[in-house]
Amino acid sequence: MFGFRRGISRLSLISTTAITAIIATSPAMAGIIEVGSVNPTVASAGNTTIPGVLNIGSGGAMGSVTVDNNSQLTTGTGLGPGIPSTNVGLGAGSNGTLTIETGGDLISTNGIGVGIGSSTGTIDVNGAGSSVAAGDATFLGTGAGGSGSMTVRNGATASSDSVVMGQDTGSIGVLRVQNASSYMSTNPLISLDVGRAGDGMLEVSGASTFSISNNTAFDGSMAGGSGDVTVTGTSSKLEGTAIRFFEIGRAGGTGQVNVLDNAVMNIENSTSGSTGDVFFRVGASTGMGATPSGTLKVNGGGTVDIQSTNAGGDDAFLFISDPLGTTDALPGRVIVGDDPDTIGTVETGGTLNVLSKNDDAQIAVGLEGPGVLQVTDSVVTITSQGPQTGDSAILQIGGRSGPNNTATSKGEVTITNSTVTIDAQGAGSSITSVGRGTAAATTAAAPENTLIIQGGSTFNNITTGTGNATFNVGRSGTRGTVTVDGATTTLKVEDFVRIGRDGALGTMNVQNGGTVNNNTSANLLDDGVTRVGENGGTGTLDINTGGKYFAKVVENGLTGTGTIRVASGGNLSATTIHNGANGTLTGGGGSINATVNNMGSGTIAAGDSPGLMEIFGNLNLNGMGTVEIELGGTVFDTGIMQFDYDRIVVADDMATLPTEGIVVIDPDAIFEVSLFNMFTVSAGDMFDVLVADDIQGDLLLADFLLPILTGGLTWNTEIVSLQSGEALRLSVVGQVSEPGTLLVLLGGLSGLVILRRRRKQA
């Protein structure tokens, strides 16, 4: 019935018949009052000590004991280790009550059982100076049908090595610590277990404190178990020191922890001599094959701190859905701020901090099952301060870097009107990975991991130490999607943004005025490299509807497949953009402030036809790179403020001052022209498809792949002078002006014509 261990002794309930109670009574000015079934009798005008077991309400009867007026009741002084010495409510139909008040004390040397075996038990510890010292453990609700509750209130105190609420299937255990009271639990194995296999509830309120130390705490710890912990109110605290594991929803159990209304929950391993990482798990398993569910809610100004401050150099982890080596699909959920699933209630924000002073600090969402982190009107920090190099301040969304990945590894993170900061303040690096590892057979089959930053949020992936900062979207065969949405929403990454790397599929959307700063400061462009499609991965960067993206260097499709789309008022600003052999750069009503190099077999297109790409800087069209042009008419459409054909406009960037607006067409650059929207060209049609301050290069050395014309019509290509600048003009004429230059392509290019023509002389 009792499953708690202390050392090697198993705690078990033994009958009062096993020990002959010896009552020792000393006179005092106060009293101990008993009513009904109390065995052995403890009534006294002073203090009472028994070396055996005290049963209050047993054998189907009711019983009560009150210890007040500075009296002291001591039980179990003659018992061996592991034998509880006070039982309140024992056996089917029994009802026991124990009241400690006005300075009374209970010392239950070997522990307390409350509500045992289909009975009901209640303990009330009330008032400053009143106390309970429960020795080995306090069990609230044990055995099928057992219901036990304990209230510590109005400045009273209580302590035990361990507290277990809802020990067995069908049991209920409740502990309330209220109104400036305190409870301390210090067992070296398991110091807190709320809802082990039954239902358990812990409430800390009214500036009270619940303290645990030395190893482990569980909330909903076994199959069928359900635990609920609430810490609420200003100056209310749940404090854990020398803690290695705090687990919510474990091994088939269901657990929820609520930190509300300016309350604080602090879990750390700071005690001198403690060693080992700090693991705070929400949705965890221990290989028992059952699926748990865990939830952590922090709102109303509540704060949760998960810290490793030990000088031994240990990590601090918050794992959301982590089955500890099993392959279960384990739901874990952390809500900081308003819970969108709570209908009719709007909760204010909270704070969540993960800190390691000497090693790694990490939040991992969906390591081996589905994990959710929602942050609204709140603050979240992940901070490492240690001397170690490598990744040290980490946000990991979906999967893990090592073994035990599953096909269900999936993380979902939503940040709304909040600030999230990932900062490596020592020698290490800060890193965010949206999609880290998967056991799915293919990337396409892998679950999609998501990060949404919206509603005026600020997300900082930075280092204030000597390391660097990296933001990964899709990594190691996973799928990852990041959305930066809203006019005052900002994602800041100081060093590297890597979208679609190492065989993964990654997508970043910057929209509705959202901003990404892949540099130390917007518009300074003095730091930051963005890679889209890297090391066999596939990446997409979509900047639209007023979205803004700042970087120093952008590499698109150099070692993977990359697509960058700048459309609908979006802006991409960089010193240089390298569009590689497997890169596609498209417009569509957006603007680019950069020198753009179209390299190898890279593709540049103006955008969704008719598309407009504006480049404020320079454009280098290198050999074998392709410019795609679609023609759909010659009319200027005022509805979209664009001609009915694709145009690329290259002009000076007035903010950067050097001479710009230059297009260089290298030998073997390719212009691939097609018609759309059933458009048919006519003689005299002209299309200025590329406009710049200055266009350099010999068109004779460029390849033009043009639609075949009939009826004696032919294409003419030339560079013409405009009132301001120059244009690459395609025009339709009624005869071939230089027949010797007309070549009909055979094989795969059948039906197309290449026309090579020198630049028109002034």
pLDDT at 343: 61
Could you give the CA distance from residue 285 to residue 271 in angstroms, rounded to a whole number?
Answer: 27
594 located within any domain? no
DSSP state string for 299-327: ETT-EEEEEE--TT---EEEEEEE-TT--
pLDDT at 491: 98
Residue 515's DSSP bridge partners are: 490, 548
Kindly report the three-state secondary structure assignment for every residue of 594-658.
EEEEECCCCEEECCCCCCEEEEEEEEEECCCCEEEEEEEEEEEECCCCEEEECEEEEECCCCCCC
44 located within any domain? yes
List average pLDDT for each run of 10 residues in the chain, which is 762 residues long: 39 32 42 96 93 96 97 88 87 98 96 96 98 94 96 97 92 97 83 89 97 77 82 96 81 85 91 67 60 84 92 82 53 86 75 95 88 96 93 92 74 97 96 89 89 98 95 95 98 97 98 92 63 98 97 97 96 97 95 96 92 96 95 82 90 74 95 96 97 93 93 96 96 66 33 35 30
88 located within any domain? yes
pLDDT at 32: 96
Question: Of 27, 25, 24, 3, which is closest to residue 13 (Cα–Cα)?
Answer: 3
DSSP state string for 260-301: ETT-EEEEE--STT--S-EEEEEEE--SSS---EEEEEEETT
Contact 645, 674 (CB under 8 A): no
55 located within any domain? yes
pLDDT at 753: 35
**pTM of the shown model:** 0.89
CA atoms within 13 A on the CB side of 233: 13
DSSP state of 378: -
DSSP state of 443: T
Tokens of 689: 């498809």
233 located within any domain? no
pLDDT at 313: 66
Tokens of 220: 């909903």
Question: Of 606, 546, 587, which is closest to residue 570 (Cα–Cα)?
Answer: 546
445 located within any domain? no
Task: Find the domain containing 139 and state its range.
Answer: 31-185
731 located within any domain? no
Supply φ then ψ for residue 497, to 5 degrees: -115, 125
- Type of residue found at 188: P
The alpha-helical segments, DSSP class H, found in 672-742 are: none
pLDDT at 9: 33
- Structural domain count, the chain: 1
221 located within any domain? no
